[in-house]
Amino acid sequence: MTDAKGLHWNFFVKDRIAEIGFYRDILGMKILRHHEYVEKGAHPPVGVKAMWSTTLFSYGDEYRNFSIQILFSYDPDLKFIKGNGYTGMTIQSSAVLSRARSADLPILEIKEGVYKVVTSPCGYRFFIIDKPEPTQADPILKVHLMCSDEMNVLMFWHCVLGAKVNSHYFNHSTVVSFQDHGVKFKFRCTDKPLIVPSHGCRLTVSTTIDKLRELEKFMVEENLEIAFPLTPLNVAEGNHVLTMIVEDFDGHEIALVDEIDYDRQAIVDDKAEQVMVMAMRKEKIYRGENPVVDEKDARFFNFLDIFDDHEKCRGRNSFRILGPLVLPAYLMKNT
């Protein structure tokens, strides 16, 4: 399968407020879109039966930059397995380290200072290269994953998905990519039992509709498992994206989408943060809590101008942003 492009990596999170603050205020990424899913037409992550949401972050537009999407479920009792399949993401940005130090976040050095590691509130690691962010390239360089056998990586990612092999070291590591200048995916072998994350922690890749159908036909003929067959999914605002979900031989999920369908809905929403704010209010209602924003939320959102009248909140002028968003409490100094 050629002509493919890595779009974004999906993380499942339990604490949406803290995690969003980390990606935006520490990693320095921009919120491109926020969607709430309550209708039956949308396909939720595996095991998620309650309402759920997605928030997409990037250092630029999706045409030139790899993105991060966080998945959140409103079910407080949902059990999530983080596993050991994902080990980190490499980002080149001295500014990330500066913001992390200002927030008194722990910074771990590995490989004699080559990488500095910062960890999100939900436990996802990011390997930061202490160099200025590239101006003509994506700061996100690599996604690090574990594998049980490098031959399985070559067989599936190269022979089935058509990813290019950038490097291969026997019994050590394999690096693949879908585009010459796109994000790389580095697999390291492990002798330990490999446990991949649950609930939709996966890579999303776009390609042509013809390539999707060819891949589906090939996998059926070769008796390779398809986790979710090629189906048009309702993503948001009436848009549908033709999607198929597959798993490699270690269980890493890859969502393959029609590039035309995806590009049609891949629009930067200037009101994404406002939509997210309203979603937090609805989350309180969903959990049976007081929907009035409390002090903790105020330190994160700093909007504090939501009308208490529920009907007014549905109107065009139901809220306004009073100032810049600030760090959540857990990132504040001396807290």
Is pLDDT larger for residue 239 or for residue 181?
181
Lowest mean pLDDT among 24-28, 34-38, 324-328: 324-328
pLDDT score at 312: 35
Is the pLDDT reported for residue 290 higher than 50?
A: yes
Residue 323: pLDDT band (50, 70, 90) is: very low
Residue range 186-203: average pLDDT?
Answer: 88
Cβ contact 30:58 at 8 Å: yes
* Whether pLDDT at 292 is above 60: no
Q: Which residue has the tokens 């090939």?
A: 218
C-alpha to C-alpha distance for 109 and 130, rounded to whole angstroms: 11
Residue 331 pLDDT level (bands cut at 50, 70, 90): very low
| pLDDT of residue 288 exceeding 60 | yes
Predicted confidence at residue 324, as pLDDT, reads 36
Q: Are 319 and 277 in contact (CB under 8 A)?
A: yes
Residue 314 has pLDDT above 70, yes or no: no
Please give the share of the chain, as a percent, with pLDDT higher than 90: 54
**Strand-pair partners of 117:** 108, 127
Kindly write down the DSSP assignment for every residue of 62-78, as one continuous string: TTTS-EEEEEEES-TT-
Instruction: Answer positive or negative: Cα dihedral of 88, 92, 97, 103.
Output: negative
Q: In the predicted model, what is the mean pLDDT of residues 15-36?
A: 91
CATH number for the domain whose boundaries are 5-265 = 3.10.180.10
Q: Residues 228, 243: contact at Cβ < 8 Å? A: yes
Nearest to 59 by CA among 132, 144, 137: 137
Mean pLDDT for 326-333 is: 37
pLDDT of residue 263: 93
| Token pair in block for residue 325 | 């968003």
Average pLDDT score over the chain: 81
In this prediction, residue 77 carries a pLDDT of 76
Phi, psi for 26 (deg, rounded to 5): -105, -55
Which two structure tokens, joined as six digits, stand for 159?
A: 């022979």
Of 71-80, 94-103, 162-171, 307-316, the poorest mean pLDDT is in 307-316
pTM of the model: 0.83
Q: Distance between CA atoms of 143 and 188, rounded to whole angstroms?
A: 11
* Spatial distance between the Cα atoms of 335 and 325, rounded to a whole number of angstroms: 18
Neighbouring residues of 260: CB distance < 8 A, sequence distance ≥ 6 = 208, 209
Q: What pLDDT does residue 329 have? A: 39
Q: Could you tell me the residue ranges of all domains in the chain? A: 5-265
